């Protein structure tokens, strides 16, 4: 009896906690918990691509630790900054209070070095998300990680679950990368395998199957030359390697599975600017969850993931062979690799995976009729005029957003019930996306926010509606309303447009079942419609292209809730003591750390900020190009051209010395423009200032000058300058063109002429045409900033200028062969 009681007692001891645990796990009310995580942001030295580089890690990991919570959890994330500059972390795709959103200067002040910021919010959603730096270019250096929220129960059955974080890496500081792109938008272009070269055209033309295809190819090339666009404008940055869960392809990531497993792979597009094409050879993937939302499943052989997107697929393990995850960069430069293996010692033949078929040359449809493309707004009632009034106070050309909501009859607040969205040409990428449950009432009235995605690509300034972020004002939205984005991509690149803190309903013809997304990859020339409900009611929300460099270069805007935004942003707190990050940099999860709540300021009364809150203010940039050639057929003679541009995107100081000649230590020809340079549109800049002429003249002099420079159709580099000296007007015109013959081999041809209105003999200026100069220069662009050239240069003098030379006993024509190099600083 005693034994029996004892056994009952011991059983109870065992059963009660189990029952308690069981109810704890399965009752929704106790499913959620308070959880605290400490994240330490610090530098870490890495070698991903053959060079030791400074990266930024979270808890000493790249990617940072996967944060995994349950839906309903109330979480506290303490972010400790051990960098020597400010940082922030953004929780990508999460709906949370705006001051927790982690965008520097928009939702918070950067976390100061040595300080801590407490992010605290409740998880009212589930699915696959991620986090990343929203400060400077730190995301490019490794500050990102997966963020997974488990729902109370999953719709899909799976036995294993892995996050696959795809990212890109360059052996260069990202600030340097951006500075390079600001020197020349196509700075890295010669490093890409796909080139719009003549050689490429000829081989494509040869390979084209039909005459029609040949003609098409010819007109594509011709049109793109005319429009001054490249047909392979896939990437701006030539990366050195691509990472899968922080592993370069030289050391691919591997994870164990077994036959019979159904594996959930959570792909996260964490590249700063890389689009990955993903496949697992010999396997169908079942797409089940996109951007944090379950979808009606569909099978795919491969898919493309843009920066900012996430895709969850299920993979069935049926054979005792490796399942290779192959994620190739869209520009074909490389691939991130990984494998699911049924035995960790299994050999994996990564080389067996064939690359994706090469992307086709693409061509702009701008200005062309696009059959099947029906913009919902363009046809009938355009809200543009109606809104022009309300918009007049806002400096946003092209932005057709109604600010005045009081008139529901206003054309802008159209109700569009039953609108046939299926008539719109939708991006094929999202055509199959259908939400698994109702996401929205599609009949709610909308206000239009037209978003033209554009920019001055050659100058690497990216816009929304014709303006970079730093020139534009925040976009005001009103709580409770629904807004309709109409994204019109006017560029030749993809732009993954990301809205913080709100779901967008991607209008792809499923109405109430249109998928919810936080990032929309808008393809070149494409028009995409998506709605969002202004449900947050207050604060600042960032909206931007998730190509990090596009965002930094202006493709971004803050959204403000009208009448309910703040002038003060939360700040970080000094770490008083027991700073966990001071210990070894390992993970510091679930460590309680009490902060002074008063450090997070109470809401300020709404007032117009003195200046708009801009994440990325106007930058200043420096460019210098030096060209130096030794003349082969004249001993001890060389020629040099130097140009430097210093300043902001639109206004610069230009120093320009064009084709100076030196012979036996004597300067024969040299003058220097010291000009104010102002960009007037994508292709043209005007300039003016003074020019100092040292030679040819007996006495050096200063003269005023003005000019215009830019790129004419067919990529004709144009430089026209006019000067005034001693009563003589001079006009100096130079036209040139670089033709790409092969990937690294170009041919420059140029012609320059100078005319004057009057003869000024002692300064060697003749009335009428002075000279014509012709150059032919083959060059090898061995590095993005270094080329070697051979040049033939022929100059012939005419009229009065020729007579001056004759009277001085000088040659009236020159024939020079040079070899030399060009460097871009």
Sites of contact with Cu ion (CB under 5 A): 495, 545, 547, 550
Least CB distance to Cu ion at residue 238 (A) = 17
Please work out, in degrees rounded to the nearest 5, the angle formed at the alpha carbon of residue 521 by the alpha carbons of 517 and 526: 120
Please spell the DSSP secondary structure of 485-536, one letter per residue.
EEEEE-SSS-EEEEESSS-EEE-SS-GGGPPEESEEEEPTT-EEEEEEE--S
Closest CA to 309 of 555, 60, 504: 504
Pairing of strands 475-477, 556-561: parallel
> Cβ closer to Cu ion: 497 or 534?
497
Q: Give the chain's length.
A: 825
Helix then strand then coil, in percent of the chain rounded to 5, is 15, 40, 40
**How many other CB atoms sit within 10 Å of the CB of residue 142?**
29
Least separation in angstroms between CB 451 and Cu ion:
12
| Residue 67 vs 461, nearer CB to Cu ion | 461
Shortest Å distance, C-beta 497 to Cu ion: 8
Token pair for 813: 């024509």
- In the sheet with 475-477, reading across from the earlier edge strand, the strands are 475-477, 556-561, 540-545, 495-499, 519-522
Nearer to Cu ion, 53 or 530 (CB): 530
CB of 416 to Cu ion, least distance (A): 28
Q: Which is nearer to Cu ion, 177 or 545 (CB)?
A: 545
For the bound state, the minimum distance from the C-beta of residue 486 to Cu ion, rounded and expressed in Å, comes to 17
Residue 181 vs 337, nearer CB to Cu ion: 181
CB of 695: closest distance to Cu ion in angstroms?
Answer: 47
Comparing C-alpha atoms, which of 111, 173, 122 is closest to residue 149?
122
The DSSP output letter for 73 is: -
Give 376 or 468: the residue with its C-beta nearer to Cu ion.
Answer: 468
**CB of 177 vs Cu ion, minimal distance in Å:** 15
Nearer to Cu ion, 495 or 652 (CB): 495
CB of 552 to Cu ion, least distance (A): 11
Shortest CB 452 distance to Cu ion, Å:
12
Cα first-last separation, the chain: 93
Specify the residue, 39 or 555, whose C-beta has the smaller distance to Cu ion.
555
**Closest C-alpha to 791, from 775, 804, 803, 813:** 775
Q: How far is the CB of 520 from Cu ion (least distance, A)?
A: 11
C-beta closer to Cu ion: residue 49 or 103? 103
Q: Yes or no: say if 666 and 636 are a contact pair by the CB < 8 Å rule.
A: no
Within 13 Å of residue 249, how many CA atoms lie on the same side as its CB? 20
Distance separating alpha carbons of residues 182 and 188, to the nearest angstrom: 11
Token pair in block for residue 655: 């120093």
Cβ 555 to Cu ion, closest distance in Å?
5
Cβ closer to Cu ion: 246 or 308? Answer: 308
CA-closest candidate to residue 472, choices 545, 558, 564, 384: 558
Q: Pick the closer one to Cu ion by CB: 240 or 521.
A: 521
Give me the residues paired with residue 497 across strands: 520, 545
Q: Residues 277, 328: contact at Cβ < 8 Å?
A: yes
CA 562 to CA 401: how far, in whole Å?
13
Judged by CB, which is closer to Cu ion: 387, or 454?
Answer: 454
Query: Three-state SS for 656?
Result: strand
Residues 369/374/379/382 CA torsion (nearest 10 deg): -110
CA distance 441 to 392: 32
Listed residue (692, 680, 694) closest to 652, CA to CA = 680
- Residue 118 or 495: which CB sits closer to Cu ion? 495
Long-range contacts of 380-386 (CB under 8 A, 24+ apart): 381/411, 381/414, 382/411, 383/410, 383/411, 383/412, 383/414, 383/447, 383/448, 385/411, 386/410, 386/411, 386/412
Residue 504 three-state SS: strand
| Integer Rg of the chain from CA | 31
Non-local (6+) Cβ contacts of 428 within 8 A are: none
CA angle in degrees (0–180, nearest 5) for 288-294-299:
20
Q: Which of 177/325 has CB closer to Cu ion?
A: 177
Based on the number of CB atoms within 10 Å of its own CB, is 529 exposed (0-12), middle (13-18) or buried (19 or more)?
A: buried
Q: Which of 265, 273, 201, 271 is nearest to 230 (CA)?
A: 201
- When the beta carbons of 129 and 460 are compared against Cu ion, the nearer one is 460
Rounded to whole angstroms, the Cα distance separating 227 from 712 reads 9
- For residue 124, the minimal CB distance to Cu ion (Å) is 29
Q: How far is the CB of 34 from Cu ion (least distance, A)?
A: 39
Q: How far apart (Å, rounded) are the C-alpha atoms in residues 412 and 384? A: 8
Enumerate the β-bridge partners of residue 148: 68, 128
Q: How far is the CB of 495 from Cu ion (least distance, A)?
A: 3
Scanning the structure block, which residue is given the tokens 């709540």? 597
Least separation in angstroms between residue 550's CB and Cu ion is: 3
User: By C-beta, is 119 or 487 nearer to Cu ion?
Assistant: 487
Of 231 and 497, nearer to Cu ion (C-beta) is 497
Q: What is the DSSP letter of 63?
A: S
Nearer to Cu ion, 550 or 721 (CB): 550
């Amino acid at each position: 009896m005693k034994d029996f009681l004892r056994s009952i007692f011991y059983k109870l001891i065992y059963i009660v906690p189990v029952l308690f645990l069981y109810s704890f796990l399965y009752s929704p009310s106790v499913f959620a918990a308070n959880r605290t995580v400490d994240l330490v942001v610090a530098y870490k030295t890495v070698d991903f691509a053959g060079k030791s580089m400074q990266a930024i890690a979270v808890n000493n990991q790249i990617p940072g630790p996967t944060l995994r919570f349950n839906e309903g959890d109330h979480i506290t994330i303490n972010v400790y900054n051990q960098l020597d500059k400010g940082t922030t972390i953004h929780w990508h795709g999460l709906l949370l209070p705006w001051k927790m959103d982690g965008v520097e200067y928009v939702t918070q002040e950067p976390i100061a070095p040595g300080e801590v910021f407490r992010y605290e919010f409740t998880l009212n959603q589930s699915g696959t998300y991620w986090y990343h730096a929203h400060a400077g270019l730190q995301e490019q250096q490794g500050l990102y990680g997966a963020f997974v929220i488990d729902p109370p129960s999953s719709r899909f059955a799976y036995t294993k679950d892995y996050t696959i974080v795809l990212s890109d890496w360059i052996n260069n500081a990202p600030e340097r990368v951006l500075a390079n792109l600001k020197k020349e938008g196509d700075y890295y272009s010669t490093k890409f395998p796909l080139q719009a070269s003549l050689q490429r055209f000829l081989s494509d033309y040869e390979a084209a199957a039909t005459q029609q295809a040949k003609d098409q190819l010819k007109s594509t090339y011709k049109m793109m030359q005319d429009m001054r666009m490249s047909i392979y404008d896939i990437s701006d940055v030539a990366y050195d390697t691509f990472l899968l869960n922080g592993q370069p392809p030289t050391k691919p990531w591997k994870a164990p599975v077994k036959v019979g497993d159904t594996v959930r792979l959570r792909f996260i597009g964490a590249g700063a600017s890389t689009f990955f094409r993903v496949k697992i050879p010999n396997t169908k993937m079942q797409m089940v969850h996109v951007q944090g939302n379950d979808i009606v499943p569909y099978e795919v052989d491969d898919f493309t993931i843009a920066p900012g997107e996430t895709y969850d697929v299920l993979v069935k393990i049926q054979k005792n062979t490796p399942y290779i995850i192959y994620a190739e960069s869209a520009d074909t430069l490389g691939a991130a690799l990984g494998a699911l293996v049924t035995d960790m010692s299994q050999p994996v033949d990564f080389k067996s995976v064939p690359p994706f078929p090469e992307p086709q040359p693409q061509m702009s449809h701008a200005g062309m009729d696009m059959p099947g493309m029906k913009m919902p707004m363009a046809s009938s009632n355009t809200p543009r005029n109606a809104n022009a009034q309300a918009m007049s106070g806002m400096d946003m050309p092209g932005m057709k957003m109604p600010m005045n909501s009081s008139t529901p009859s206003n054309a802008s607040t159209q109700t569009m019930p039953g609108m046939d969205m299926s008539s719109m040409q939708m991006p094929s990428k999202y055509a199959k996306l259908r939400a698994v449950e109702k996401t929205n009432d599609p009949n709610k009235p909308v206000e239009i926010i037209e978003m033209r995605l554009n920019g001055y690509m050659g100058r690497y300034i990216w816009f929304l509606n014709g303006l970079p972020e730093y020139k534009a004002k925040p976009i005001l939205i009103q709580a409770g309303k629904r807004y309709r984005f109409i994204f019109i991509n006017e560029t030749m690149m993809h732009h993954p447009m990301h809205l913080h803190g709100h779901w967008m309903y991607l209008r792809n013809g499923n109405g109430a079942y249109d998928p919810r997304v936080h990032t929309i990859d808008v393809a070149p020339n494409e028009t995409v419609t998506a709605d969002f409900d202004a449900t947050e009611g207050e604060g600042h929300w960032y909206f931007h292209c998730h190509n990090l460099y596009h965002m930094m270069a202006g493709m971004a805007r803050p959204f403000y809730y009208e009448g309910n935004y703040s002038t003060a942003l939360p700040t970080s707190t000094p770490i008083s003591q027991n700073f966990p990050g001071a210990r070894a940099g390992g993970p510091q999860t679930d460590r309680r750390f009490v902060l002074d709540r008063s450090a997070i300021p109470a809401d300020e009364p709404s007032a117009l900020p003195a200046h708009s809150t801009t994440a990325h203010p106007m930058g200043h940039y420096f460019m210098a190009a030096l060209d130096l050639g030794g003349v082969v057929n004249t001993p001890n003679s060389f020629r040099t051209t130097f140009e430097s541009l210093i300043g902001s995107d639109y206004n610069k100081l230009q120093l320009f010395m064009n084709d100076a000649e030196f012979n036996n230590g004597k300067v024969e020809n040299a003058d220097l423009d010291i000009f104010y340079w102002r960009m007037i549109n994508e292709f043209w800049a005007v300039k003016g200032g003074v020019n100092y002429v040292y030679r040819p003249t007996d006495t050096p002099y200063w003269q005023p000058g003005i000019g215009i420079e830019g790129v004419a159709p067919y990529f004709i580099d144009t430089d026209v300058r006019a000067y005034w000296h001693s009563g003589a007007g001079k006009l100096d015109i130079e036209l040139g063109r670089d033709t790409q013959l092969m990937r690294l081999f170009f041919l420059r041809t140029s012609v320059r002429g100078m005319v004057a209105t009057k003869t000024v003999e002692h300064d060697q200026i003749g009335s009428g045409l002075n000279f014509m100069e012709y150059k032919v220069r083959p060059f090898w662009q061995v590095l993005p900033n270094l080329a070697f050239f051979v040049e033939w240069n022929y100059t012939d003098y005419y009229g009065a200028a020729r007579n001056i030379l004759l009277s001085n006993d000088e040659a009236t024509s020159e024939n020079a062969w040079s070899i030399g190099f060009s460097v871009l600083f």
